[in-house]
Amino acid sequence: MNFVRRNYKQLTLFVGVCIVVLCFMINWSQTEDIYDYNRDRTRREDFRDGNHRSEVQKSGPDVTNSIGGAQKTEGSQQLADAQHRIRELEAKLRRLELRVPQRFPDVKFLNYKSRKRILVTGGAGFVGSHLVDQLMLAGHEVIVVDNFFTGRKRNVEHWIGHENFELIHHDIVNPLFIEVDEIYHLASPASPPHYMYNPVKTIKTNTVGTINMLGLAKRVGAKVLIASTSEVYGDPEVHPQPETYWGHVNPIGPRACYDEGKRVAETLSYAYAKQERVNVRVARIFNTYGPRMHMNDGRVVSNFILQALRNETITVYGHGKQTRSFQYVSDLVDGLIALMASNYTQPVNLGNPTEHTIEEFAVIIKELVGGPSHIQQVAAVEDDPQRRKPDISRAKRNLGWEPKVPLNVGLRKTVKYFSRELQRTSHAERNVYTPALAIDANKELADTHEP
């Protein structure tokens, strides 16, 4: 039994040794094959490289040119990639430039006791934007509310982003809930084509809109200035027109939506003053002109200047003997600010008492602009006032205000603005009339003399 076990162990050991030897021999054989294969592959590659160099040497210029063409193609691709990267960098620089803080006109610094929060309705319009400029330069916080029917963002774009300025796209026919100290209520279309375009909306703006502004003034205890108009006098039978004159207005004529709308606005103002103790001011504004006037507002100044600049016929409606008085916009803004700062609560005329006939005014524009335009009379318009001249004795006495800018000086600035506007061919060509820094009328006109 022990003999059998001993033989079995020896047999097992022998078989294990045989398996190890067999594995070793198989591994050695595979290693030799791999070595031979690698050696043969190396020889074949060396042989091919040698043949390739020989062929290149034999083929001469043709192959050399092919290689050079490939190098040129690679160079062109690298140049295109570099140009693409440059364009990307330029785009990034433009985006970074937009993040650079905008430069604003210098404004006066007021502390929290002196600085007011002032709301200007219609502040993106012709008169409103000039008023905004003066209030901003004075250091106040200004909130502009406009529905942009006749106003334009371009009129106030130089203030957008300033910490003291805010622009709200809003129609004052709808209530507005903000906190302010003063309200300049200028919102309303003011030229015949604009206020006749939608008479019902004109009436609503001057009635419902005025109620909303007076209600806001009542809630927050703000002082409110209502911008009325010389149109409340209608076609006057008293000349010049004092504030005590009640007017001569056609209540159902084409101008009635504006004339009667402003008359109701005045009535509302003094009803709120008496019943609700609202602190109101009323300015009756006469004809005003200057930069930022709407190009197609249909008024005398804009019509005549555009027709003269385009070498078209200057059209005078009617016989041309109707009279108007024209004040420059900076004079009006000074009067509005003076009225708001005063303690005077009765209506005040703000206009230039220097009177001109429409025919005289057409001649002045023609001579100022030059060109081949001639003056032609056409049919008169309905309800066109025959005489218009303000009595400004109340403004002189209570505000210490009177217009300073001579007609020819203001017209030159207006013509220059209109000329640039006509030269624009794209939106990128800006024609922005930015305010001068705290320049009074005398300094502004020092280098200009009326002919």
Taking only the tens place, the pLDDT of each residue in 251-280 is 998 889 999 999 999 999 999 999 999 999
Tokens 């083929």 sit at which residue?
59
pLDDT tens track for 45-83: 554 555 545 554 555 555 455 555 666 677 788 888 888
pLDDT tens track for 375-422: 888 888 877 778 889 999 999 999 999 999 999 999 999 999 999 888
Residue 102 pLDDT > 60? yes
Range from 5-14, 24-33, 383-392, 427-436 that averages highest in pLDDT? 383-392
Rounded distance between C-alpha atoms, residue 236 and residue 385, angstroms: 7
Q: State mean pLDDT over 88-113.
A: 79
Q: Which residue has the higher pLDDT, 435 or 137?
A: 137
Q: Cα 73 to the chain's mean position, in Å?
A: 50
Tokens 């200047």 sit at which residue?
305
Rounded distance between C-alpha atoms, residue 153 and residue 215, angstroms: 27
Range from 10-14, 30-34, 166-170, 380-384 that averages highest in pLDDT? 166-170
Q: Would you say the pTM of this structure is higher than 0.85? A: no
Run of H or E including 442? helix 441-444
pLDDT band for 350, please (50, 70, 90 cuts): very high
Nearest to 342 by CA among 257, 267, 280: 280
- State the DSSP string of 327-376: EEHHHHHHHHHHHHHSS--S-EEES---EEEHHHHHHHHHHHH-SS--EE
Given 184, 233, 258, 272, the catalytic residue: 258
Output helix, strand, coil percentages for the chain, rounded to the nearest 5.
50, 15, 35
Q: State mean pLDDT over 193-215.
A: 94
Residue 115 pLDDT > 50? yes
Q: Which residue has the higher pLDDT, 241 or 11?
A: 241
Residue 135's pLDDT is what? 97
Rounded distance between C-alpha atoms, residue 149 and residue 283, angstroms: 22
Q: Residues with Cβ < 8 Å from 249, sequence gap 6 or more?
A: 231, 232, 233, 234, 235, 256, 259, 260, 263
Nearest to 413 by CA among 346, 330, 296, 336: 330
pLDDT tens track for 123-150: 999 999 999 999 999 999 999 999 999 9
Residue 377's pLDDT is what? 86
Residue 107 pLDDT > 70? yes
Virtual torsion, Cα 420, 421, 423, 429, nearest 10 deg: 90
Which range, of 1-10, 328-337, 412-421, averages the lowest pLDDT? Answer: 1-10
CATH 3.40.50.720 fits 117-288+328-352+390-404+428-444, yes or no: yes
Rounded distance between C-alpha atoms, residue 77 and residue 43, angstroms: 37
pLDDT band for 440, please (50, 70, 90 cuts): very low
242-271 burial, b at 16+ Cβ within 10 Å, e below that, comes to: ebebebebeeeebbbbbbbbbbbbbebbbe
Nearest to 369 by CA among 301, 294, 446: 301
Nearest to 407 by CA among 447, 342, 451: 451
> Which residues share a beta bridge with 182?
118, 223
Rounded distance between C-alpha atoms, residue 122 and residue 146, angstroms: 5
CA dist 163 → 47, 101, 166, 437 (Å): 80, 12, 8, 18
Asked if 295 contacts 421 with a C-beta cutoff of 8 angstroms, the reply is yes
For 398, counting Cβ atoms within 10 Å of its Cβ (0-12 exposed, 13-18 middle, 19+ buried), the class is middle
Q: What are phi and psi of 386, to 5 degrees?
A: -85, -30
- 328 as an active site residue: the answer is no
Asked if 401 contacts 251 with a C-beta cutoff of 8 angstroms, the reply is no
Q: Which residue has the higher pLDDT, 192 or 176?
A: 176
Q: Residues with Cβ < 8 Å from 17, sequence gap 6 or more?
A: none
